[in-house]
Amino acid sequence: MLDPKWIREQIDEVRSMLECRNMDLDLSELSALEVRRREILVDVEARKARRNEGSKTVGAKRKAGENCDALMEEMRCLGEEIKELDAELERIERDFEAWMLKLPNRPLPSVPVGKNEEDNVVVRTWGTPRALPFEPKPHWEIAEALDILDFERGVKLAESRFTVVKGLGAKLARALINFMLDLHTNEHGFMEINPPILVNTATMRGTGQLPKFAEDQYRCANDDLWLIPTAEVPLTNLHAEEILDEAELPKHYTAYTPCFRREAGAAGRDMRGMLRQHQFDKVELVKLCAPQNGEAELEHLTNCAEKVLQLLELPYRVMALCTGDMGFASAKTYDLEVWLPYQNCYREISSCSICTDFQARRMNTRYRPEAGGRPQYVCTLNGSGIAIGRALIAILENGQNSDGSVTIPRALRPYMRELEAIVPH
């Protein structure tokens, strides 16, 4: 969440921020809550001052042997009024916090201002799309011909947007997972974590999935547990309600997990193939650092995800998302978009974001500065390092050959007994 002091004192800036983020939220109720909160604070302080003054007068009257029944009744009434005002203030604070949970993160100054994906900015490109001497096929046709993806049985076992990956397809997916984890742990300095894939409500709220995106999540009916939509959720929450020493920072974590999203807002989009699934695999990258190092850590995080695509020999581009296209918790985001020959365009395969102290405030994760002073909120970052299913798609489409085979990237061959291609049976 945002700094409540900033929200209370700069409500017009909050409105401007929501406008540039292309969000339409009526803040009149929030403003009214703040006006009433200040009124109550003034009233309570005045009544407490009167009560303190009255208590002293009661003591003096008693010493002098004077009757103070009327004054004591006034003090009793003041106590009841203070109690009622305190209860109202508590209700207002709860309503204010509920409002804060609705507000998105504040974009950094370097984020391009825009309404939607049309206003995103190309930062750089890498690689040249391969010139195919034949009409490129979509990944689902390639995979079915190679007998490595089974879409019909995925629907039979679950429902639409679930896929069975089998044979050399499953081996290729496992190779991608191991390759990415080895790269990020051995070369990029991340600690591998094997986290729960079921987490409680507080954990989901900590990274911003709740309450705003509840309809996109899978929840257990009989427990306070949710299937994670990304390993960002458990990894970032590892230090919830903790105070770290600055010397411990930065923390770099990586994890492979299955991920689950209902995709409630994506009905009818990308129904063919496995581009948009309810269950998908991903290697995630998460960082916790001191705020002053946040933007440098974002560049490093993005470079780590890029290295995966470079070693897989997949052409891609890096996009700086505009204010209107960023995720709810993000203060700045780079999307990596991989080239897909059949669609003849770039599609997202990784998203790398800095969340400043937005998630840390929700999780109450702080650090003690080495220079001394009060504990400060950490800066959190996350990125896909990368999505396994979309990497499979990109390999199938970019590695396809005229004879129906698919060339395996050289970086993955050690994980596949040096197999150079998947060929039709």
The answer to whether residues 111 and 104 touch, using CB atoms and an 8 Å cutoff, is: no
CA distance 402 to 390: 22
Residues in Cβ contact with 163 at an 8 Å cutoff, skipping those fewer than 6 apart = 149, 150, 151, 154, 274, 277, 389
| Residue 325 token pair | 């296209």
The answer to whether residues 395 and 386 touch, using CB atoms and an 8 Å cutoff, is: no
Residue 210 has φ and ψ, to the nearest 5°, of -120, 145
CA distance 139 to 402: 14
CA distance 144 to 142: 6
Quick one: DSSP state of residue 329?
A: T
The answer to whether residues 227 and 197 touch, using CB atoms and an 8 Å cutoff, is: yes
Q: What are the catalytic residues?
A: 261, 276, 348, 351, 390
| Residue 24 token pair | 């339409």
Q: How many CB atoms lie within 10 A of CB 208?
A: 24
Quick one: DSSP state of residue 351?
A: E
The answer to whether residues 251 and 316 touch, using CB atoms and an 8 Å cutoff, is: no
The answer to whether residues 113 and 20 touch, using CB atoms and an 8 Å cutoff, is: yes
CA distance 66 to 75: 16
| Residue 237 token pair | 């929450």
The answer to whether residues 281 and 157 touch, using CB atoms and an 8 Å cutoff, is: no
What SS3 class is residue 282? strand
Q: What is the DSSP string of 366-381?
A: EEE-TT-SS-EEPEEE
What SS3 class is residue 349? strand
